[in-house]
Structure 1
């Protein structure tokens, strides 16, 4: 779960950095540095969410595929599923 948390945060933060760069100065150096970081974080998010316990039943696997915020959505779904299991 720690890998998923870090990858989801990196994916969302890198997307924000790319969009801010696009809307402001559009520096090619920022795009060439942050773009591959965002892509790698996206792939790590999917790879980390896929085998997570309860991911298939909760739909977190498919939420992780959503670019940008999918990892955060998958984490939220996994957390709510685990809390429900603990309280029952």
Structure 2
């Protein structure tokens, strides 16, 4: 079975970008509309990354633990998943095809 990580990649990048925008907004103008948009965006992306990583059957305990780190956890978990071969197909399916 092939595991598609594209939604997880999109959510991980969205999580990081929204965090950077929120922190830049706090450091500069602190505009309320930016905070109102980026806060929920970051929160939803963060939850999606954590839940999606934990639901992967091939995710290691380290990848699951790293996914909980806000901002960069999703990208680090993706790197660990790529190294562990979580995106490859099962050997049984490859021989049956």
User: What is the TM-score when the length of structure 2 is the normalising length?
Assistant: 0.79
The count of aligned residue pairs is 84
Query: Matches of residues 11-50 of structure 1 in structure 2 within 5 Å?
Result: 11-50=15-54
Using the TM superposition, give the Cα deviation of residue 6 of structure 1 relative to its aligned residue in structure 2, in angstroms. Answer: 0.6
Q: Is the radius of gyration larger for structure 1 or structure 2?
A: 2
Matches of 1:3 and 1:47 in 2, distance apart?
Answer: 12
Cα deviation per residue 1:14-66 (whole Å; 9 max; x = unaligned)? 00000110111110110011000000000000111112242135x11111100
Query: Aligned-residue CA RMSD in angstroms?
Result: 1.8
Moved over 6 A (4+): none
Gap runs ≥5 in structure 2: 89-97
Query: Matches of residues 1-88 of structure 1 in structure 2 within 5 Å?
Result: 1-57=5-61, 59-82=62-85
Greater fraction helix? 1
Structure number with the bigger relative contact order (C-alpha 8 A, sep ≥ 6) is: 2
